[in-house]
Amino acid sequence: MKNVLIIGAGVAGRDVLKEILVSPDMGLKAVGFIDEDISKISQIIDGYKVLGFGKDLKKIISVEKIEEVIIAIPSAEGESIGRYVKICTDAKVAFKIVPRVREIIEGRAKLESVRKVRVEDLLGRPVVKADVKTLKDFFRNKKILITGAAGSIGSELTRQIAAYKPAGLILIDWWENGIFALKNEIDKLYPKNGFDFVIANIQDVSKIESIFERYKPNCVFHAAAYKHVPLMEEFPEEAIKNNIFGTLNLARTALKNEVDKFIIISTDKAANPVNVMGATKLVAEGIGKMLNSPRTRYISVRFGNVLDSYGSVVQIFRKQIEEGGPITITDKGMTRYFMTIPEAINLILKAAFLGKGGELFVLDMGKPVKIVRLAELMIRLSGYIPGKDIKIVYLGKRRGEKINETLFNKHEELTSTKEGKIFVSRNIGFDKNKLFRSIQKMKDIINNGRTNLLRKEINNLIPSLPLNAK
């Protein structure tokens, strides 16, 4: 049997203890708790003592011969979790965590869902419990359709919305393997869920129309998009077909079927875009703005870098760690704004609730994170000690690269909402007739095989896009 210490003597920690006690086949032996609440110290909970505070963790691990630590504080700040992780890695003790978002939504911690600590647990801001009831009410009796459901954003939207128990979930993606993996995960978490997993391409308008007619969704979260900037610079026609034509297909079909709300997941690269990908997302926002009506309300949500999304720096660092290092960083002082995927989704859901139609919501990205700190956290999460087991090497700033980024340009006007981390940005939008004429012209250009003219056409619509690719 493996000696286990539970961090957190609250509801989640007690749930974990109960599941350990009724699951002897898991080979876990609970030793006790630690907690930061002084009133709980020395308490006996279901026969197990609260042995001390977080600062006592190192000593308790040694004295009690702890082999694994389970962090069961769903509302904990990432900094606190990071301290526990450092002590565990220094002591060469395994550590896991109760997923913070799902357990707060569902109100109960399950031992089967305990997983390895991830970088988002250390950098993310916690979900506020007060939001849960509001969102449960919002999703009650609603059928929710998610495009790009197998992607980084779409899959987390699926996890969180599923926990709110909507009347139905229709999960669309063209990526067969991704949908297969998502279905296996969701079926395990929510047996007999009755959700629908659909292989479809948003560019196929007849298929999209048949899906809406069959499932009759009340609300759409549109997360399907091509997002990699260099690739979309090389293949602008694919960015346009997917991000613009696909969005228009979905948005028009939603209007035809009287969908209540249509939420467009956008990016900060749509603000004065200097690349094709950002330009296509700005046009997608414009489509929502132009089609907005009392019958179907279109809402755009824009945010920046998301931790551990496909192709992100987190995945690059993870691969470098797996290879034994070193981790390469351009400059020791480099910072970036990051938001964890669960936090981004939580704020997207709030924006969907707040939206009355026609707005562009901008998410507060928090404080900038030092890239070197991110690297050090990831090294510790892998069970190594930074600088000793895995080296960090600085390569020097590359051409055109910024040491520090800004979130918005000087022309952006932000208005606060009652949610402190969500702002409404001034959205000038497009002339409706000009926008749809331009989209039709892009279709003609692509159909005629003259893709070299696409950048010029986008530039006519969005002057900030350079005429020549860099």
Kindly write down the DSSP assignment for every residue of 199-257, as one continuous string. Answer: E--TT-HHHHHHHHHHH--SEEEE------HHHHHH-HHHHIIIIIIHHHHHHHHHHHT
pLDDT-derived band at 236 (thresholds 50, 70, 90) equals very high
Instruction: Return residue ranges of the chain for CATH 3.40.50.720.
Output: 2-117, 130-425
- What are the pLDDT digits (tens) for 331-371? 888 887 777 787 788 889 988 999 999 988 887 777 778 88
Residues catalogued as catalytic = 269
**Strands (DSSP E) found in 293-399:** 297-303, 306-307, 327-329, 335-336, 339-340, 360-363, 369-370, 392-394
Which residues in 322-347 are b (16+ Cβ under 10 Å) and which e?
eeebebebebeebbbbbbbbbbbbbb
Does position 398 have pLDDT exceeding 60, yes or no?
no
Q: Check residues 96 and 306 and name the one with the higher pLDDT.
A: 96
* Residue 397: strand, helix, or coil: coil
CA atoms within 13 A on the CB side of 174: 12
Does position 131 have pLDDT exceeding 90, yes or no?
no
pLDDT-derived band at 400 (thresholds 50, 70, 90) equals very low
- What are the pLDDT digits (tens) for 409-462? 555 567 878 777 788 876 667 888 899 999 999 999 999 888 888 889 988 888
- What are the pLDDT digits (tens) for 412-423? 567 878 777 788
CA distance linking residue 439 with residue 240, whole number of Å: 9
How many residues can be counted in the chain? 470
Displacement of CA 286 from its chain's centroid (Å):
23
57-61, 202-206, 343-347: least confident range: 343-347
Residue type, 225: A
Displacement of CA 381 from its chain's centroid (Å):
19
> In DSSP terms, which residues pair with 303 in a beta bridge?
267
pTM for this one?
Answer: 0.75
pLDDT of residue 430: 82
pLDDT of residue 408: 57
Q: Which CATH number fits domain 2-117: 3.40.50.300, 3.40.50.620, 3.40.50.720, 3.90.1150.10?
A: 3.40.50.720
Closest by CA position to 387, among listed 331, 332, 335, 326: 326
Residue type, 29: K
Residue type, 394: Y
Scanning the structure block, which residue is given the tokens 């961090």? 7
Answer left, alpha or beta for residue 402, where phi above 0 means left and psi between -120 and 50 means alpha. Answer: beta
Q: Which CATH number fits domain 130-425: 3.40.50.1980, 3.90.1300.10, 3.40.630.30, 3.40.50.720?
A: 3.40.50.720
- What are the pLDDT digits (tens) for 276-285? 998 999 999 9
- What are the pLDDT digits (tens) for 16-37? 888 888 888 888 899 999 898 8
Residues sharing a CB contact under 8 Å with residue 35, sequence separation 6 or more, in sequence order: 7, 8, 9, 10, 13, 41, 50, 53
